[in-house]
Amino acid sequence: MILESELQLLCETFRKCRVQAIVIHPGETMDKLLDERFRTLFGGDPEQSVDCFLGQVHPQVIYRMSTALRIHYIFLELSKEPRQAVLAIGPYLSSSPGNRLIFEIGEKFHISPNRQRLLESFYAGIPVIPDSSHLFALLDTFGEHLWGSNSFSVEDINEDFMSEAPPMKYTPGSSEDLLFNMKLMEERYAAENELMRAVSKGQIHKGAYIMEVFSSNGFEKRLDDPLRNLKNYSVIMNTLLRKAAEKGGVHPLYLNDISSAYASKIESSSSLSAMQDLMVEMFRSYCLLVRKHTMKNYSPTIQKTILLIDSDLSADLSLSTLAQAQNVSPGYLSTLFKRETGKTLTEYIQSERMQLATHLLETTSLQIQPVALHCGIMDVQYFSKIFRKYIGKTPKEYRESLK
């Protein structure tokens, strides 16, 4: 086998997106790739034909298999000689199956109506990787490094390996079904916990693969209307993210506004794609909120000081006023603030006020003087001087540059 480090990177990237990627050696079967979900629903040995196909995999070809269940796999020989080591990727779906397709599959493979919910849960547990995904570009790049840029091909295989599925034997309320549902529930809760941990630490970089779990196919379908279903789950997700950010040290003062704003956006969204984009946006926004407003490492005195500043930037935020509100001396507050935040009190206040100023100049038609007043600066000339120091332009120049 060659390209060990590249292979490891490729497999780890697929796994981060919840898609299995394993190496199958001669004599091994699909047991490593197909879990008990197949056997729970379909019984028998559903991977038998796919096992047979493994012996037909040749070097310099990437095989993309689509089964009768509309489930996809990818196979490629990793050695220069055939039948040495095959990389198997899957199962995954290219798109989220609608209720109609799931019912048709259930009828075709003799799934008892009593097990229809299990079938829906089965598909909900399979990741969706659209054909436009960057993962396939990564796979092509791996093929180029493995065989050369112009020396391999991609073949699509339609394998109807379950076309003669036997009728199901079903006992309502069986322990088998209970264990199956428990596993699905455990996986969903584990994904939610991973999501909350990432937000509580402000780990935006984890969003790409964590959010795949919460695609339109990654949660329980409780309603026939897919948009309403996704909206309902987004409401739940908004709550999870809010609690995660609070655990990350963000005060409810900041959380209330962002949570309310996203609750409104969720209800006004009109398409599945818009909802999925909104969920990604929510994850990023809450992570950024944690990065900016986390106060878990600050003392109670500095936490309250920051809250007093951020709650009303137009107020009197002089050192003496803030110290009096805390019942501490101005010198003590000044020294403590610098030690814990790395900024002087004046630097922090001016930075926050200039951020508010740019926001007002971008989003409103207020004149410069009212903008200055909203930022707690009475002298408009002094406001312009400070603004130019931070932004590099006067407020008027900045607003004209937006046009």
Q: Which whole number is the average pLDDT over 292-296?
A: 75
The confidence score (pLDDT) of residue 205 equals: 67
The β-bridge partners of 342 are none
The confidence score (pLDDT) of residue 354 equals: 93
Give yes or no for a contact between 115 and 178, defined as CB atoms under 8 angstroms apart: no
C-alpha to C-alpha distance for 62 and 52, rounded to whole angstroms: 17
Q: Which whole number is the average pLDDT over 161-185?
A: 52
- pLDDT at 206 > cutoff 70: no
The correct answer on CATH 1.10.10.60 for the domain covering 300-402 is: yes
- pLDDT at 169 > cutoff 70: no
Give yes or no for a contact between 193 and 214, defined as CB atoms under 8 angstroms apart: no
**Which range has the top average pLDDT, 88-92, 114-118, 183-187, 204-208?**
88-92
β-pairing, 153-159 vs 61-67, is: parallel
The confidence score (pLDDT) of residue 171 equals: 43
Q: For 116-144, give one letter per residue: b (16+ CB within 10 A) or e.
A: eebbbbbbbbbbbbeeebebbeebeebbe
The residues near 383 (Cβ < 8 Å, ≥ 6 apart) are 357, 368, 371, 372, 375, 377, 395
- pLDDT at 221 > cutoff 80: no
- pLDDT at 174 > cutoff 70: no
Which helix (H) or strand (E) is 73 found in, with range? strand 72-77
Of the two residues 165 and 291, the one the predictor is more confident about is: 291
Sheet containing strand 153-159, edge to edge, reads 21-24, 86-92, 72-77, 61-67, 153-159
The confidence score (pLDDT) of residue 29 equals: 64
- pLDDT at 45 > cutoff 70: no
The residues near 59 (Cβ < 8 Å, ≥ 6 apart) are 77, 79, 80, 81, 82, 147
C-alpha to C-alpha distance for 276 and 282, rounded to whole angstroms: 10
The confidence score (pLDDT) of residue 34 equals: 59
Q: Which two tokens stand for residue 211?
A: 């959010």
Q: Which whole number is the average pLDDT over 236-245?
A: 88
What percent helix, strand, coil does the chain show, rounded to 5? 60, 10, 30
- pLDDT at 235 > cutoff 80: yes
**Which range has the top average pLDDT, 56-70, 149-163, 327-341?**
327-341
The confidence score (pLDDT) of residue 240 equals: 87
Helices (H) and strands (E) in the chain, counts: 18, 5
Domain-wise residue ranges, the chain: 4-159, 175-293, 300-402
Q: Which whole number is the average pLDDT over 366-373?
A: 90
- pLDDT at 346 > cutoff 60: yes
Per residue in 300-321, pLDDT (tens digit) is 899 889 888 887 888 899 999 9
The confidence score (pLDDT) of residue 105 equals: 79
pLDDT band (50, 70, 90) for residue 167: very low
Per residue in 374-395, pLDDT (tens digit) is 899 999 999 999 999 999 999 9
Residue whose structure tokens are 């008027």: 396
C-alpha to C-alpha distance for 218 and 211, rounded to whole angstroms: 9
Give the total residue count for the chain.
403
Our CA angle for 65, 115, 119, nearest 5°, is 30
Q: Which two tokens stand for residue 248?
A: 């990350």
- pLDDT at 371 > cutoff 80: yes
C-alpha to C-alpha distance for 87 and 399, rounded to whole angstroms: 56
- Map residue 130 onto helix, strand or coil: coil
Q: Which whole number is the average pLDDT over 143-149?
A: 80
Of 22-36, 308-322, 388-402, which gets the smallest average pLDDT? 22-36
The confidence score (pLDDT) of residue 217 equals: 45
